[in-house]
């Protein structure tokens, strides 16, 4: 027996015979063409593209879930994107490349741009471009791609990768589990696996080289483990773990529509982080009290960004879905640095993490910023909108941003465009300088939201995408905890609420500590809401404050980490300290 560790991407346990599925890319001809052949090559490309459009259309149907249909629509939109099509035709007509080479060049350029990002959710969208590009290239070359649809026996799919369009064709009646060499929890494949309720583990390295076709395999999508040729004892252990998890999930569902109130009556607000309207069903089902972070930059994923009207439609859809009583906090475009957007030139710097990004980008590209603010104001009459500015480093930047916001409001007044004049505005605290002068920022805004992902990396000087120093990325570092405490205290002195939308807010291990430090609002992925709510409802604010005082007196992250893990384990078991 052999146990491999990966990333748990879709819950559950599945077992059966391994079905080995490895992609082999055809060798793309990199041949030049004579200018007189350009029209014919363009026509070949257009014909292949139309063939792929028809092929994708066959995947659509009434049984597709919202997530599945959204991913299919994303691929269909990519095939219609004029900037992508123009890039291919430019490579054919100006660079005199054959159609296959032109598609490969365009695809590689887009993927390279996206993969410069350190935002994992954004980075994993490159799989969609890869998928569409290779579909067109295979069609041009007349190479039939391998198929996994039409299976007639139950299998466990073991693959090097699984393209989103391939995942759309999976039948959960026959595919009992999935194990992949690569991938991440936020990839489209992982989203589809969860929609299909197929247990999935990704990021397994080279599992395709460690297993034979037909060998027995167990995939544990709860703990991110895969057992190859398992013993009966190992199989029994995994099944028992699965039963415990199912029972735990059933218990959590019972608190979905309950308030997040401690045993001694202290109330906090639980909200969700989202990027698309399709996620809102899960948000509402899990009892979120609003949206604490809507990542607007994902509207700009496609080349050319998003127009005012496109943004307005997207913002309105989220606000209408959440209703007038559940506030939606939309973060203004946070590009540059680790979020490279095609066509905006917000990259190419030697040190982009400390460079032209977020609010700095917006202040230098006021045309893009004002367009977004106008779209936000237009949408505000359809719900309860809050606006949040990212990466503010000091009072000067905040004043500049607020001045532009007032200018856009003035323009809307003059043009007779209605908007909510009581919109609350806030700033993210994700730069140490902002945390240290949060007492100066607080009087200018209606709320704070702590972005711990960046705050941690800037405070400890650790690139969170660098595997060599990943061990130094420690939320329990005394410097990080002291900054968080400072921000909370300064916000409360100014009588404004302070929330957190970074990963710490949705991590059960930190929930009681943050509660004890005085955090008013936790915003997290929809999947984390029930666990955090259950924990908060199981403790008293006095116990949480005692825990916080104890941890704040410690002088190292190792001591804090060990103490909190033991404290949580005693009260909540393995589900919160895994």
Catalytic residues: 188, 501
- 82 to each of 49, 451, 516, how far by Cα in Å? 13, 35, 52
Burial state string for 163-184 with b = 16 or more CB within 10 A and e = fewer than 16: bbbbbbebeeebbbbbbbbbbb
Asked whether the beta carbons of 154 and 174 are under 8 A apart, the reply is yes
User: 534: which 2 tokens?
Assistant: 């259950």
Residues 262 and 226: their CA atoms lie apart, in Å, by 38
Look-up: residue for tokens 């949040």?
388
The helix (H) or strand (E) run that includes residue 85 is: helix 82-93
499: enclosing H helix or E strand: strand 498-500
CA–CA gap between residue 199 and residue 193 (Å, rounded): 7
| 558 C-beta neighbours (distance < 10 Å), count | 11
List phi, psi (to 5°) of 216. Answer: -75, 140
Least Cα distance to 429 among 475, 394, 476 occurs for 394
Tokens linked to 292: 């604490």
Q: Cα angle vertex 490, ends 485, 492, to 5°?
A: 95
CA triple 529-535-537, angle to 5 deg? 100
* Neighbour order of strands in the sheet with 155-159: 2-5, 225-228, 216-220, 13-21, 155-159, 175-180, 200-202, 7-10
CA angle, 442 then 443 then 448, to 5°? 30
Q: 339 to each of 26, 92, 344, 363, how far by Cα in Å? A: 31, 30, 11, 17
- Here the tokens at position 213 are 């076709």
- Can you give the C-alpha Rg of the chain in angstroms? 25
* Terminal-residue alpha carbon distance, the chain: 23
3-state helix, strand, coil split of the chain in percent (to 5) is 50, 15, 35
Q: Is 398 helix (H, G, I), strand (E, B) or coil?
A: helix
**255 - beta bridge partners?**
none
Instruction: Indicate the DSSP class of residue 105.
Output: H
Q: Taking a C-beta distance cutoff of 8 angstroms, is the pair 158, 18 a contact?
A: yes
343 φψ region: left (φ > 0), alpha (ψ -120 to 50), beta (else): left
Q: φ and ψ at 339, to 5 degrees?
A: -130, 90
Exposed (0-12), middle (13-18) or buried (19+): which is 138, by Cβ within 10 Å?
Answer: middle
């Amino acid at each position: 027996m052999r146990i491999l560790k990966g990333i748990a991407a879709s819950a559950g346990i599945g077992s059966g015979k391994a079905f080995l599925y490895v992609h082999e890319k055809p060798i793309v001809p990199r041949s030049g063409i004579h200018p007189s052949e350009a029209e014919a090559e363009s026509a070949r490309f257009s014909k292949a593209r139309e063939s792929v459009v028809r092929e994708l259309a066959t995947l659509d149907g009434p049984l597709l879930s919202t997530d599945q249909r959204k991913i299919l629509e994303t691929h269909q939109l990519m095939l219609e994107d004029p900037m992508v099509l123009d890039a291919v035709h430019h490579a054919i007509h100006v660079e005199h490349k054959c159609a296959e080479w032109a598609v490969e060049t365009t695809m590689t350029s887009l993927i390279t741009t996206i993969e410069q990002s350190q935002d994992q959710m954004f980075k994993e969208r490159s799989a969609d471009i890869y998928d569409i590009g290779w579909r067109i290239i295979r069609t041009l070359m007349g190479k039939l791609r391998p198929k996994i649809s039409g299976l007639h026996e139950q299998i466990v799919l073991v693959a090097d990768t699984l393209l989103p369009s391939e995942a759309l064709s999976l039948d959960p009646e026959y595919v009992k589990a999935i194990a992949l060499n690569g991938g991440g929890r936020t990839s489209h494949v992982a989203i589809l696996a969860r929609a299909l309720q197929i247990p999935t583990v990704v990021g397994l390295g080279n599992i395709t080289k460690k297993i034979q076709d037909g060998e027995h395999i167990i995939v544990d999508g709860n703990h991110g483990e895969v057992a190859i040729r398992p013993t009966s004892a190992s199989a029994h252990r995994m099944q028992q773990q699965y039963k415990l998890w199912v029972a735990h999930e059933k218990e959590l569902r019972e608190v979905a529509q309950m308030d997040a109130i401690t045993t001694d009556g202290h109330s906090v607000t639980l909200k969700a982080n989202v990027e698309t309207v399709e996620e809102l069903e899960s948000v509402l089902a899990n009892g979120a009290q609003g949206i604490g972070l809507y990542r607007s930059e994902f509207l700009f994923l496609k080349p050319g960004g998003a127009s005012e009207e496109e943004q307005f439609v997207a913002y309105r859809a989220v606000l209408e879905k959440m209703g007038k009583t559940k506030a939606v906090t939309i973060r203004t475009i946070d590009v540059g640095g680790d979020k490279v957007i095609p066509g905006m030139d917000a990259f190419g710097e030697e040190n982009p993490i400390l460079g032209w990004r977020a609010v700095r980008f917006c202040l230098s590209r006021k045309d893009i910023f004002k367009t977004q603010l106008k779209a936000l104001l237009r949408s505000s009459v359809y719900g309860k909108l809050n606006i949040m500015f990212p990466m503010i480093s000091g009072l000067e930047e905040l004043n500049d941003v607020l001045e532009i916001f007032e200018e856009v409001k003035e323009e809307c007044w003059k043009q007779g465009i209605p908007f909510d004049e009581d919109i609350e505005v806030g700033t993210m605290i994700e730069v140490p300088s902002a945390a240290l002068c949060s007492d100066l920022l607080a009087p200018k805004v209606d709320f704070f939201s702590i972005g711990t992902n960046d705050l941690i990396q800037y405070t400890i000087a650790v690139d969170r995408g660098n595997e060599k120093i990943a061990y130094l990325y420690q939320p329990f570092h005394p410097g990080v905890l002291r900054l968080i405490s400072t921000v909370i205290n300064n916000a409360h002195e100014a009588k404004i609420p302070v929330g957190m939308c970074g990963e710490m807010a949705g991590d059960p291990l930190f929930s009681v500590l943050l509660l004890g430090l005085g955090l008013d609002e936790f915003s997290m992925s929809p999947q984390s809401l029930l666990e955090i709510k259950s924990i908060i409802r199981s403790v008293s604010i006095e116990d949480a404050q005692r825990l916080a005082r104890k941890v704040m007196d410690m002088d190292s992250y190792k001591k804090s980490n060990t103490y909190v893990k033991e404290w949580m384990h005693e009260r909540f078991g393995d589900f919160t300290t895994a």
